Structure 1
């Protein structure tokens, strides 16, 4: 339940409370974290004043009661400003209690669609590490929490899903390690990110534990609860591979075996696999008014709907490098994930014998050269509502092939490996990638990126048919 402030001793504090009630960002208020990081596309997402280091998420869920989740989450963070109050992102639920460093908060209240505003009993000093524990219960929000046709459930969604099941600083720029403890009735299994911990059973309920020890953007966190069939193998370097199949999806042994080969291929192109585990969570269809099929690059263990297919396995696992390990700075940078993951599918086809110049690039250019709409979306900063526009996938993969032909294979793949190495487990922007590509290749690429990434028309001929592609210009 909501707990109102018990005592406001200063008029400034009363003003703060009034501002919070009206959903006003607190950016100008001393000793307070602002609600909303002012992302160009999602300005209310995230919160300033602190940097999360770790999430410890405990949930209890019974599939027989699909509209209810019990949660107990501790967020450990470092204060980047002195804090008399701060906010977390959480949609729905009734919040029973909030403590800061083990002491009940002076107050907590809800603001806007997804803000939980907390006033700690004691000011948090700049530079201090503090732990916020939130106990909550209720119906998970359907934007990120999906009830499955099998009776199970899973959490997945982009750009938002975390706020549907635990309090967080919900913006990709604030990555943190993650631990999950999920308690479900006996006979059900909970799968999460990273490596499994001990499983315990008591009183007809089983508790599963998972931990992801590399920083993770909140939308990449997941839990899936079902009567899973779980297979285990390992990559050539010993990395454990855990693949879970829901009861209503086919167990695809050939594609599961191919999954390891695909990961080995991606390692050869992008550098060492970035996480401590790999695999897949294969679920059935979701139900209800928000039902949708969703494949998503949930960190270390992508989520697939309906089955395991090689095209999706390549794409979602390429994201482990591009989007997961190296995450974007804000939602203008979606090409850093989708352009590269889509081009990974082309690289896999090339690995199997395809000629990308004549079998991929030239036909798509020919098909769309007289279609202005195909070229009208910018790849960097495509616009609010277009953060995951199809152009990032299709025009984006063409751009990367044109870049490869512009700089040559050595410079192109050295750029990719340098990118994944120098920004591993952090955040970066597309302009930073442009600068790196120019540095590695030793070429002036401003005209190329202006035409391909920042332009809204078909690129001029010198950028559309660079290098070895020139012979295709008149075909």
Structure 2
């Protein structure tokens, strides 16, 4: 446990945009001039403490209570390691190089009186914390950074917490064995956050229920590119280092925030028509350019097709990041531009772009609700196949039910391992029932209410919770209310009982 406050200047979006390296230098100078003792600040002993963790069913320590984040400003400076990472090692590179220096400004509103509150930050060295520009007492224990602002905070008060930190961010191994967080690559790094990895590279309220806007400025050696979410607002080079400034206006859960640093090749285009046109920004590792060119060129087509089913595209830009399969082994629906492990096939591209509606815009309230992400994105694949000369959604459903969809018996049987709404543990939230059986739930709804009502329902769901959070109870209530009006007599209770919450393989009758 470490504790020591320093006084540091506040940084907000209204400040002039400057390279991250210059910002960090200014902060260091100010620290030298205004260094305070470790004995200042603190609220009343009988005051209110924000909870450490939101009691998520699968990640109870993730997130923090007592406040709602509205905006993150991150100024990051990255120096790659002298040598590329050892791909056979599970550890991140260490030493003087390969380091990240950061200044994070977290703007939030207190939802109750607070004498102290927590931020999630795993690893890294915290150098100073201030609230409203005034030094704050802080302590660390595990992934919790506990902050005690001078004088406390009143309910409804908007406040800015500035954290200066540095170090080599960690790579996390998930309960299911996959790796996330800070992933060193052959020419840089890739930061992926589902479900907990974002806390390795910036402090925050890292639970999907707390979404915010972002401004991310990243300074890297000249010749490397830094790609993140949203729109690239500026790019400038000085003294051999280039700063990229990215802005995400729409609310974003931290697990779909990303940072990709490498020698990417960039292509730009547009999607949509007329006033609805949006920029498409694609970053591809040079080794993957040739193999991915054709499928990535279909992004505007896929977005247009998806809008026909799900409603207007929910963000102000789209695109993709493609890295080497050796550097990342799974795709992720990072907001605005999904990440792919090598050139994706068209079904995977459809899946991750569908997540922009279901997962990124309509975000689960907890990790128990993952099927609302994966069931919808999987069903989007079925709809694409249905519309493009492949099997119909009914044929895919039937193949899954009969056990001859996957090439091996074990995978076909795994569909029935548990109800999609109730994974048995954190290591199972990305298993087949969440994806395939989650999609089967949607198909059973389609059968119950009819095609016209079903497509109106899934479009209305995306619209009703646009840029918000929802859980399974929200969805079932929405579907039942909708069905009462659009499809009187439809029995959705049996869908919930047998397919969403029921154990084992349910009957079709």
The normalised TM-score by structure 2 is 0.83
**260, 274, 295: which is aligned to 2:314?**
274
Aligned twin of 2:294: 254
**124, 130, 143: which is aligned to 1:114?**
143
Aligned twin of 1:129: 158
- Deviation at 1:169? 0.2
2:63 equivalent to 1:46: yes
Give matches, 1:303-342, under 5 Å: 303-342=339-378
Q: Distance in 2 between matches of 1:366 and 1:241?
A: 40
Aligned twin of 1:238: 277
Give matches, 1:11-160, under 5 Å: 13=45, 30-64=47-81, 67-105=98-136, 107-111=137-141, 113-143=142-172, 144-149=181-186, 151-160=187-196
Q: Distance in 2 between matches of 1:173 and 1:118?
A: 21
- Deviation at 1:158? 1.2
2:439 equivalent to 1:402: no
Give matches, 1:395-474, under 5 Å: 395-442=437-484, 443-462=490-509
Number of matched residues? 440
Q: Distance in 2 between matches of 1:368 and 1:388?
A: 21
Moved more, 244-253 or 134-143: 244-253
Q: Give me the CA root mean square deviation.
A: 2.1
Give matches, 1:222-237, under 5 Å: 222-236=258-272, 237=276
Aligned twin of 1:467: none
Provide, for residues 178-200 of structure 1, a one-character-per-residue CA deviation record: whole Å limited to 9, x for no partner: 11100000011101100111111
2:252 equivalent to 1:221: no
CA contact (8 A) 1:414 1:440 kept: no
Provide, for residues 19-44 of structure 1, a one-character-per-residue CA deviation record: whole Å limited to 9, x for no partner: xxxxxxxxxx7421010111111110
Moved more, 114-123 or 434-443: 434-443
SS of the residue aligned with 1:31? coil
Q: Distance in 2 between matches of 1:110 and 1:381?
A: 33
CA contact (8 A) 1:192 1:223 kept: yes
SS of the residue aligned with 2:255? helix
Q: 1:12 to 1:126 in 2, by over 3 A?
A: closer
Q: Distance in 1 between matches of 2:190 and 2:123?
A: 17
Aligned twin of 1:377: 418
Q: Distance in 2 between matches of 1:278 and 1:373?
A: 34
Q: Distance in 2 between matches of 1:9 and 1:178?
A: 29
Q: Distance in 1 between matches of 2:43 and 2:302?
A: 62
- Deviation at 1:9? 10
Aligned twin of 2:233: 197
2:294 equivalent to 1:265: no
CA contact (8 A) 1:2 1:94 kept: no
SS of the residue aligned with 1:234? strand
SS of the residue aligned with 1:82? coil
Q: Distance in 2 between matches of 1:239 and 1:253?
A: 20
Moved more, 156-165 or 212-221: 156-165
Q: Distance in 1 between matches of 2:230 and 2:104?
A: 18
CA contact (8 A) 1:146 1:286 kept: no
Structure 2: segments with no counterpart, 5+ residues:
6-37, 83-92, 173-180, 485-489
- Deviation at 1:309? 2.3
Q: Distance in 2 between matches of 1:138 and 1:372?
A: 45
- Deviation at 1:427? 0.3
